[in-house]
Amino acid sequence: MDVYIDYNATAILRPEVITAMQNTFQLFGNSSSVHRAGRKAKSAIEEARERIASVVEVSPAEIIFTSGGTESNNLALSNRDIPVFISATEHDSINAVREDSKIINVDVNGIINLEHLEELLSSADRLSMVSVMLANNETGVLQPIQQVVNIARRFGAIIHCDAVQGLGKIPFTFSELGVDMLSISAHKIGGPKGVGALIVKEGIDLPPLLLGGGQERNRRAGTENVTGICGFGVAASLVQSTLKQASNLESMRNKIEFEVKEKIPEVTVYGHGVARLPNTSCIGLPDMSNESQIMALDLAGVYVSAGSACSSGKITPSHVLKAMGFNDNAASSAIRVSLGWQTTENDCNTFISVWTDMVKRIFNSNDLCRSVA
């Protein structure tokens, strides 16, 4: 049986979500139409909006539905003629938005350098924006968002947080984080792909990316994805039950890291020892390309990744690990194991067995594999 442990790329759809989405196929009306069919579709969207708002404790009016985390991040940062400061380990959907973004340094664990952030903000001569992710998609390392907010507030900066990887894995609310804008996505929590949201604090100006019909209170034009949004709403309603799995996922993740490290001492677990997502492990082995590892695991029916999913299908050195100070060899030798709601102990045991067997086969070195039995 295949072992899927790539939940940070996308989570397996929850059955409740599938059922809810199937039920929306009969909602054929355009949600912007004023007739009964349109009102039914609109009502379904607003019910989903309320469900999501309840999870992160915001007003439903503060939620803008988008096509996913990438669009949410782009919407937050685009069309703003102000200085933008981003951490060195942000997702590419942040990195690619503004070529003139100033980079905030991080330490060896990928945690933002707060003194550097303060230095950069003090150099800005006008209103600026800070964008720092809640949890890194490759290493799972958590950022000290409240401290980032405290510093940014002193300089009057607008604060955006990419919380795509955090939702459903660690508890938080919009007010607890204290940010002005927050990006979330459905498919990371067992919902459908192609739908997400940007939460925007009341009073924050948000120039739209898409213009036209005036949907989403004139902040994101285009006919809403009713089926996807309804699926998102149901997935969000299951977040609390998902959070109850956190300790179990952390135990399984720790088991993987301990046993892999015990068998192969040369292994590096990036971000080990600092606060991380309970489901995420970034494992590196010198001189063993992540592409080779992923291909070998794939042939054995074990699915992991090398970091962010990329439409090109090519694996490049991790910009996250390079920002943390590691060389190209290390940045090209790490894989990401990310557990989820269907992960079992047997899945973890299978990964450990397959991965260590792969190391023996590829390296065939008594020195490297001396403890692989």
In order, the DSSP letters of 27-96 are --S-TT--SHHHHHHHHHHHHHHHHHHHHHT--GGGEEEESSHHHHHHHHHTT--S-EEEETT--HHHHT
Indicate if the pLDDT at residue 368 is higher than 70.
Answer: no
CATH assignment, 3-10+245-363: 3.90.1150.10
301-305 average pLDDT score: 97
254 C-beta neighbours (distance < 10 Å), count: 15
Helix axes 15-24, 226-237, angle to 10 degrees: 150
**Helix, strand counts (H, E) of the chain:** 15, 12
> To the nearest whole percent, how much of the chain has pLDDT over 70?
95
User: Does this model's pTM top 0.85?
Assistant: yes
Q: How far is 75 from 209, CA to CA, in rounded Å?
A: 6
The confidence score (pLDDT) of residue 279 equals 98
pLDDT band at residue 364 under the 50/70/90 scheme: low
Q: Using pLDDT thresholds of 50, 70 and 90, give the confidence band for residue 213.
A: confident
Q: 282, 310, 348, 369: which one is catalytic? A: 310
Distances (CA, A) of 60 to 52, 130, 138, 197: 8, 24, 31, 11
pLDDT over 90 at 3, yes or no: yes
Say which amino acid occupies 289: S
Instruction: Give the model's pLDDT for residue 316.
Output: 81
Alpha helices (H) along the chain: 15-24, 36-56, 69-77, 92-95, 114-123, 145-154, 174-177, 215-218, 226-237, 239-243, 246-263, 290-299, 319-323, 328-331, 345-363
Residue with more model confidence, 300 or 365: 300
Q: Residue 197: what residue type?
A: A
- Tokens representing 328 are 């190209």
Architecture of the domain whose range is 15-241: 3-Layer(aba) Sandwich (3.40)
pLDDT, position 360: 80
Ramachandran angles phi, psi of 353, nearest 5°: -65, -50
Beta strand pairing call for 158-162 and 334-338: unpaired
pLDDT bin (cut points 50, 70, 90) of residue 30 is confident
Q: Region 104-130: what's the mean pLDDT?
A: 96
Strand 158-162 with 181-185, pairing: parallel
Average pLDDT over residues 143-154: 98
Would you say how long the chain is, in residues?
373
Q: Is the pLDDT reported for residue 294 higher than 90?
A: yes
pLDDT of residue 313: 59
Pairing, β 84-87 against β 129-131: parallel
* Tokens standing for residue 339: 């557990």
What mean pLDDT do residues 35-44 have? 93
The arithmetic mean of pLDDT across residues 255-284, rounded, is 96
Alpha-carbon distance 210 to 198, whole Å?
Answer: 14
* CB distance 137 to 153 below 8 Å: no
Residue type present at position 83: P
**Which of 207, 198, 204, 193 minimizes the C-alpha distance to 162?**
198
Active-site annotation holds for 310: yes
Computed over every residue of the chain, the mean pLDDT equals 93
Please report, rounded to a whole number, the percentage of residues in the chain having pLDDT higher than 90: 84
* Residue 29: closest CA among 19, 44, 16: 44
pLDDT at 17 over 70: yes
| Domain spans, the chain | 3-10+245-363, 15-241
β-pairing verdict for 268-270 and 84-87:
unpaired
